[in-house]
């Protein structure tokens, strides 16, 4: 009996150490964001003096500054238009490609499959110069489509591969049955395939939107007019202009983090699944 | 039967592949061509200069710094990002309560843009009244210039690694859940203790997953741009914190040496392909397993 008791205690000591290690890492991932939110409500002089306590004087001045000096709402709107369009277009085009490549047999199928997986090895650095050249030739710099079109192409092949993985697992019986009832391919696609794809379409939508929304590189190069800035550009712009106003910086970061945090709390399971989905297949 | 008639095929494939060709494949080829020509600005191709951009790279000390930094970043992400993720995943897999909570919390930084994370860390690093120097001053020490020449690189690497640990954590944890409980039970009956179980059962069975993680971490490290650019614009101080991506941007879009920037982009692609091939060669899970 004493032996058993001792054994039980040593397990719980081990458990406690495990929980301490896990909680420590959890603190590093959460505390910086709490820290920045707290500091957003302090004056800049107080942030400089003591950034680790709660605000001595609670102020909203940083936020009013952020909204009055910068067109934050306009930037949210720009980001939503750009990333929303990219997401919807990728969902539609990726499902169409995946449908064709999993349901049909044809001559160039292997070549197209190879082309799709090869495009995963094309980083944005290696296409951006010609794309910039094209967009400025068309006079499209600082327009929505200048960012939307290359971002669609950049996300499409990965999305198509994820969708193909899902469509391969769908049994053909329902489609065959619909065909027997007289449905054409278009009807089968819109009435059977698309509704069945809803879970993996959610996955695609999530990573597409986040990648597009968070991508500074493409947006920085293709959008130069301040009025057209999406959120990432605006944030970088604020930091280069007002980098020494720590209160304003904290408020700006907070304004970017809060909407994402709210969405994350509601959709976290889908988001985690969405962003790791393609990776696990390898 | 339904899919015997090939007529609708084009309607499904063309829109997507037209997008891919116009905005991905053709620019990719065009970029390689650009790197072989002398360009003035972005518009015209002037004269063919062959590989002279690539020869110039051999002499370009700043490019060498950028390349070494990118290689360091790859090595550090493999060791720390995948390493920490692996440790955390094994630990979380051994506990019953709170798994979902840790998953949610660890993953959170990934959804925040690198731009925001960069600005957040700038508030830590600032010389005058940044969070780190406040701690030092409270401890009675001199403030440190965190983004000075000796520490800047590591100060960029830390948030880059930190923000993505959760991504590999979730992938490895999913892999761990796929390992059957029976194997551990059988081993325990044979007298295997917990740490032996980790090294003799868990790690060997995770080889495929870890290989995937390392490939993603290395190719990801090659693609960093946003975070270093926000923390240390233009490779500050003095170009020593450039990575391949930031140096490419600097050359093409700041210095307007467009053909040279194009050539650097070609090298980035080649490097990415080469490292993924090497990793797969070394770590590819044994087919017999």
Tens of pLDDT along A191-223? Answer: 999 999 988 898 889 889 988 999 999 999 999
Q: Tell me which residue in A29, A48, A106 faces B128 most closely, judged by beta carbons.
A: A48
pLDDT tens column, A132-142: 999 999 999 99
pLDDT for the residue B192: 86
Establish if B119 belongs to a structural domain. Answer: yes
Nearest chain B residue to A103 by CA distance is B3
pLDDT tens column, B156-209: 999 999 999 999 999 999 889 888 888 888 888 888 888 888 888 888 888 888
B37: β partners: B48
Question: Mutation test of the interface with chain B: which of A180, A272, A273, choosing the one with the most B Cβ atoms within 10 A?
Answer: A272
**Mean pLDDT, rounded, for A89-108:** 94
Q: Tell me which residue in B16, B122, B262 faces A93 most closely, judged by beta carbons.
A: B16
User: pLDDT tier at A9 (50, 70, 90 boundaries)?
Assistant: low
Q: Which of A229, A205, A217 has its CA nearest to residue A76? A: A229
Q: Do A275 and B167 touch (CB under 8 A)?
A: yes
CA distance B51 to B38: 11
Q: What is the CATH number of the domain that holds B255?
A: 1.10.3720.10
Nearest chain A residue to B89 by CA distance is A22
Helix (H) or strand (E) holding B44: strand B44-48
CA distance B148 to A164: 48
pLDDT for the residue B227: 95
Residues in B closer than 8 angstroms to A131, CB to CB, are 23, 27
B40: β partners: B44
Compute the nearest-CA separation of A231 from chain B (Å).
10
Residues in B closer than 8 angstroms to A264, CB to CB, are 108, 111
pLDDT for the residue A276: 78
DSSP-assigned states of every residue in A176-196: HHHHHTT--HHHHIIIIIHHH
**What residues make up the domain containing B98?**
79-283
Q: Which residues contact A24 (CB under 8 A, 6 or more apart)?
A: none
Domains annotated for chain A, with CATH where assigned, are 1-70+246-265 (no CATH), 78-242 (1.10.3720.10)
In this prediction, the residues of chain B whose per-residue pLDDT falls under 70 are 1, 43-45, 285-289
Establish if B279 belongs to a structural domain. Answer: yes
**Mean pLDDT, rounded, for A150-159:** 95
Establish if B4 belongs to a structural domain. Answer: no
Establish if B46 belongs to a structural domain. Answer: no
Whether A278 has a pLDDT exceeding 80, the answer reads no
ipTM of the complex model:
0.91
Whether A114 has a pLDDT exceeding 90, the answer reads yes
Nearest chain A residue to B168 by CA distance is A276
Q: Do B269 and A122 touch (CB under 8 A)?
A: yes
Question: Mutation test of the interface with chain A: which of B8, B11, B115, choosing the one with the most A Cβ atoms within 10 A?
Answer: B115
pLDDT tens column, A28-80: 999 999 999 999 999 988 988 888 988 888 999 999 988 888 888 999 999 99
CB pairs under 8 A between A and B: 270
Establish if B14 belongs to a structural domain. Answer: no
Establish if B22 belongs to a structural domain. Answer: no
Establish if B265 belongs to a structural domain. Answer: yes
CA distance A139 to B277: 40
What is the widest separation between alpha-carbon atoms in chain B? 80
pLDDT tens column, B136-168: 999 999 999 999 999 999 999 999 999 999 999
Q: What is the dihedral of CA A109, A114, A117, A123, to 10 degrees?
A: -130
Question: Mutation test of the interface with chain A: which of B108, B130, B133, B262, choosing the one with the most A Cβ atoms within 10 A?
Answer: B108
Compute the nearest-CA separation of B266 from chain A (Å).
6
DSSP-assigned states of every residue in B148-210: STTTHHHHHHHHHHHHHHHHHHHHHHHHHHTS-HHHHHHHHHTT--HHHIIIIIIHHHTHHHH
| Total domain count, chain B | 1
**Mean pLDDT, rounded, for A13-20:** 90
pLDDT for the residue A279: 61
CA distance B128 to B14: 57
Compute the nearest-CA separation of B46 from chain A (Å).
15
Residues in B closer than 8 angstroms to A123, CB to CB, are 222-223, 245, 265, 268-269, 272
Residue with tokens 């349901």: A103
Q: Tell me which residue in B84, B111, B261 faces A129 most closely, judged by beta carbons.
A: B261
pLDDT for the residue A10: 56
pLDDT for the residue B281: 87
pLDDT tens column, A164-196: 988 988 888 888 888 888 888 999 999 999 999
Establish if B167 belongs to a structural domain. Answer: yes
């Amino acid at each position: 009996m004493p032996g058993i008791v001792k054994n039980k205690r040593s397990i719980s000591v081990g458990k406690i150490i495990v929980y301490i290690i896990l909680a420590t890492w959890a603190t590093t991932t959460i505390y910086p964001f709490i820290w920045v939110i707290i500091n957003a409500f302090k004056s800049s002089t107080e942030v400089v003096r003591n950034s680790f306590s709660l605000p001595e004087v609670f102020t909203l001045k940083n936020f009013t500054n952020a909204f009055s000096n910068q067109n934050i709402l306009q930037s949210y709107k720009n980001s939503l238009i750009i990333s929303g369009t990219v997401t919807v277009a990728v969902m539609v085009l990726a499902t169409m490609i995946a449908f064709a490549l999993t349901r049909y047999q044809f001559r160039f199928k292997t070549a197209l499959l190879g082309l799709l997986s090869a495009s995963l090895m094309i980083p944005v650095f290696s296409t951006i110069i010609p794309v910039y050249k094209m967009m400025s030739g068309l006079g499209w710099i600082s327009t929505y489509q200048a960012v939307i079109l290359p971002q669609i192409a950049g996300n499409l092949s990965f999305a198509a591969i994820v969708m193909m993985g899902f469509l391969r697992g769908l049994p053909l019986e329902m489609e065959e049955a619909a065909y027997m009832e007289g449905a054409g391919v278009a009807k089968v696609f819109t009435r059977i395939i698309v509704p069945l794809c809803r879970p993996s379409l959610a996955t695609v939508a999530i990573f597409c939107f986040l990648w597009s929304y968070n991508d500074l590189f493409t947006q920085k190069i293709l959008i130069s007019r301040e009025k057209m800035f999406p959120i990432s550009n605006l944030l970088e712009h604020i930091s280069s202009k007002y980098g020494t106003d720590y209160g304003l910086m904290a408020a700006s970061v907070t304004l970017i983090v809060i909407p994402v945090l709210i969405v994350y709390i509601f959709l976290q399971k889908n988001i985690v699944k969405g962003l790791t989905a393609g990776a696990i297949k390898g | 039967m339904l899919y015997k008639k090939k007529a609708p095929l084009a309607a499904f494939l063309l829109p997507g592949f037209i997008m891919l060709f116009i905005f991905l494949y053709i620019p990719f080829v065009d970029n390689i061509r650009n790197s072989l020509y002398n360009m003035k600005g972005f518009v015209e191709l002037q004269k063919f200069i062959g590989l002279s951009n690539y020869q110039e790279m051999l002499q370009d000390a700043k490019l060498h710094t950028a390349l070494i930094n990118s290689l360091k970043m790859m090595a550090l992400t493999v060791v720390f990002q995948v390493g920490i993720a692996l440790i955390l995943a094994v630990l979380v897999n051994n506990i019953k309560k709170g798994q979902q909570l840790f998953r949610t919390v660890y993953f959170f930084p990934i959804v925040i843009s690198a731009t925001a994370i960069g600005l957040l860390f700038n508030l830590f690093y600032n010389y005058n009244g940044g969070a780190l120097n406040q701690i030092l001053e409270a401890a009675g020490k001199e403030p440190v210039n965190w983004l000075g020449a000796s520490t800047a690189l590591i100060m960029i690497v830390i948030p880059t690694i930190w923000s993505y640990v959760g991504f590999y954590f979730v992938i490895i944890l999913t892999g761990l859940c796929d390992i059957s409980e029976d194997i551990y039970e059988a081993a325990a009956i044979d007298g295997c203790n917990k740490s032996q179980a980790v090294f003799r059962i868990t790690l060997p069975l995770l080889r495929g997953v870890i290989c995937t993680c390392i490939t993603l971490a290395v190719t990801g490290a090659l693609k960093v741009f946003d975070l270093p650019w926000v923390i240390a614009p233009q490779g500050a101080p003095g170009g020593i914190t450039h990575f391949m991506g930031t140096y490419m941007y600097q050359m093409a879009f700041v210095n307007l040496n467009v053909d040279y920037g194009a050539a650097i982009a070609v090298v980035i692609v080649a490097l990415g392909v080469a490292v993924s091939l090497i990793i797969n060669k070394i770590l590819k899970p044994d087919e017999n397993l």
